[in-house]
Amino acid sequence: MSQLEIVRSFLAEETEKQENYRILHQLAGCEENGVESYLLTLLCDPEEKLGQLAAKVLFSRNPYLKLTRRVAAMKPVSSLEYGAENEQRWQELITTGLSDFIKMHGDNVSAYIPLTHFPALHQLLVERLEEAGLSAVAKSFARLVNLNQEQERRELIFVPTYLCNLSCPYCYAKNWHHTFGGSATRETIVRLLDWAQTNFITTISLAGGEPTVFRDFAFLTEELRSRTMKLTMASNLLFSPEIGAYLQPELVDFVTAHYDQEYIGNSGLHDRYCRNFAELCKKKISARIRYTLTVDSNPDEWGNILDLCADFAVDSIHFSLTFLNYDRSNTRPFGENELERKITLMGEFCEDALSRKVRPVLCKPVPLCYFSPERMKKYLLEDILQNGCVAMDAHYSRNITVNPDLSIFPCNGLARKGPEITGFASLQEAGSYFKKFISGLEARPFFPQCSSCFYGQNGLCQQACLVEKIQTEIKRPEPV
């Protein structure tokens, strides 16, 4: 009797629940065929905890199921160079697994809810439901996970100024105050917010530059209040108490608080950052710490920032890695000959953070082949990695950024200047303006080997931030 048959037989009997949970764990390392399909059937078990445990075992065996199919699958190849160990289980999941699940539950819409937790399967499940003649169920599930982006975006990124009270050499917006109109005027603010209201935008997300040095910050916040609109903001947290007074919980949803390396060793900057962070917490405004890894980063540097997380009882830290911006005006990015250092630093930082009970959250996509299968599994299960950016989401409008002169670009990495936002009838129409440009980058391989990778084959890896794809193809380093 096979191990799978033993587990099936045992769970079919009336036994103690704890025994059921214990024996189901035995499937985590089972190499027999049929395990994936069986675990899928258990997701809807009347014993809710058993269904949850089946999901946990399924993720343990196939951590890539946490990945969203963000990009188009590449042309199939005869053999896979990376991630081949996943292929057999994946094929079982998307063929017999989904087919058996559909046969079992038919048009019972609620039965498909557990599958919402497996992003990699969303698109394929909808396709299988359509093939089975269950179009109504397919449409219902697609709406549930917003697969077709039918739920309109209600947030808009706006840069009121590209001026800043710091001069971080790696800043993606380095010197952009010369390119995109310096700072907004009161008239352009009113025009933008009128357009936003017409398009049912409820939240303005401020970026920069540094939004709090904007000369008309008070005017901007009052205009938002008068329209009952909300605000989110990325800030270096060096603002004065007078500016801080405008940041109240009824207006501000959350603040991304970027801690720059320059603060380390500068008690004035460090203390002001900490004072403002503490004040946001006191007001019950959600704030998250953000850190940027550069070619010069080291454990001593990020150790200071992880200490800060401990001081404020913050259990996660958002981070990214420097990149050469669109017009190549910043410095300290990781060059083509520094990819191995980039991977090593990222791994060391993540391991240090996890050892301190702080979850690192990568804000930009990196090639999944940067990591060994063991480390990638760990990082996926810890929800650390991003396999793709959101520039393609919401009909290519998710990262649309409005500049001080009201011109737009598709995201802060891709500063390709477009028309004024107010010239478009909707945010969706503005996103469509960049569709051809973004989809072209999306389909471009980052490494030559991307076409022979399991993740690339199945649309589960974007490979890199889109601005990095503008570079020529480079040699893939060894994973860590």
The C-alpha atoms of residue 62 and residue 55 are separated, in whole angstroms, by 10
Q: What is the pLDDT of residue 13?
A: 76
> Is the Cβ–Cβ distance between 269 and 283 less than 8 Å?
no
Domain regions of the chain by residue span:
3-144, 155-469
Query: 327 with 426: CB under 8 angstroms?
Result: no
Cα–Cα distance measured from residue 257 to residue 259, given in angstroms and rounded to the nearest whole number:
6
**Quick one: pLDDT at residue 22?**
82
CATH classification code of 155-469: 3.20.20.70
Positive or negative torsion for Cα 5, 10, 11, 14: positive
Q: What pLDDT score does 471 carry?
A: 61
pLDDT in tens, the chain (480 residues): 788 888 888 887 766 667 777 888 889 889 999 999 999 999 998 888 889 999 999 999 999 999 988 666 666 666 777 888 899 999 999 999 999 999 999 999 999 999 999 999 999 999 999 999 999 999 999 999 988 776 666 899 999 999 999 988 888 888 888 777 789 999 999 999 999 999 999 999 999 999 999 999 999 999 999 999 999 999 999 999 999 999 999 999 999 999 999 999 899 999 999 999 999 999 999 999 999 999 899 999 999 999 999 999 999 999 998 887 777 777 777 776 778 888 899 999 999 999 999 999 999 888 888 888 899 999 999 999 877 777 777 677 788 999 999 999 988 878 888 999 999 999 889 988 988 888 888 878 888 888 888 888 888 888 888 888 876 544 555 666
- What pLDDT does 77 receive? 63
What pLDDT shows up at residue 473? 46
d(CA 63, CA 67): 8
Closest CA to 230 of 150, 156, 152, 151: 156
What's the rounded Cα separation, in Å, for the pair 389 and 68?
A: 10
pLDDT of residue 150: 65
Among left, alpha and beta (phi > 0; psi -120 to 50; other), residue 394 is: left
For CA atoms 126, 127, 129, 135, the dihedral sign is: positive
**How far is 423 from 10, CA to CA, in rounded Å?**
65
361 forms beta bridges with 318
> Exposed, middle or buried, 438 (CB in 10 Å: 0-12/13-18/19+)?
buried
